[in-house]
Amino acid sequence: MAAVTDEIPERPLPATKRPAAIAVFGPPAAGKSTLCRALLDPARVFRLREHVSGQTLRATQTTATSLGWIEPDEVARVLHEYFTSDATAPDSGDVLLDNFPGTGDQVHQWLSIMAEAAPGYRVVPVELDAEDSVLLSRAACRRVCADCEPDAAGEPRLPAAIAKANPSRCGDCGSILARRPTDEPRTLAHRILRYRRASAAIRIAFADHGLPVWTLDGSLDQQRHRALLTRLLTNEQGG
Ligand SMILES: Nc1ncnc2c1ncn2[C@@H]1O[C@H](COP(=O)(O)OP(=O)(O)O)[C@@H](O)[C@H]1O
Q: What is the pLDDT averaged over residues 185-206? A: 95
∠234-110-114 over CA atoms, to 5°?
65
Tens of pLDDT, residues 214-227: 999 999 999 999 99
Q: Tell whether domain 2-132+185-236 is in CATH 3.30.110.40.
A: no
The pLDDT of residue 238:
45
So what's the pLDDT on residue 164?
95
Model pLDDT, residue 11 = 62
97-130 pLDDT per residue, tens:
999 999 999 999 999 999 999 999 999 999 999 9
pLDDT at 196: 96
Query: Is the pLDDT score of 92 beyond 70?
Result: yes
Sheet harboring 95-98: ordered strands across? 2-3, 214-217, 122-129, 20-25, 95-98, 45-46
Q: What is the pLDDT of residue 63?
A: 75
Distance 68 CA to ligand 1 centre (A): 22
138 Cα to the center of ligand 1, angstroms:
6
Whether the CB of 115 sits within 6 Å of ligand 1: no
Return the residue whose CA atom lies nearest to atom 24 of ligand 1.
142
Confidence class for position 239, pLDDT limits 50, 70, 90: very low
Average pLDDT of the residues in 62-91:
86
Give the per-residue pLDDT at 46: 96
Report the residue among 135, 138, 222 best suited for mutation to probe ligand 1: largest number of ligand atoms under 8 A from its CB. 138
Complex prediction ipTM: 0.94
CB of 104 within 8 A of CB of 73? no
Domain residue spans in the chain?
2-132+185-236
Q: Is the CB of 33 under 6 A from ligand 1?
A: yes
Looking at per-residue pLDDT, the higher value among 151 and 45 belongs to 45
Looking at residue 62, its pLDDT comes to 77
What's the CA gap between 123 and 211, in Å, rounded?
Answer: 8
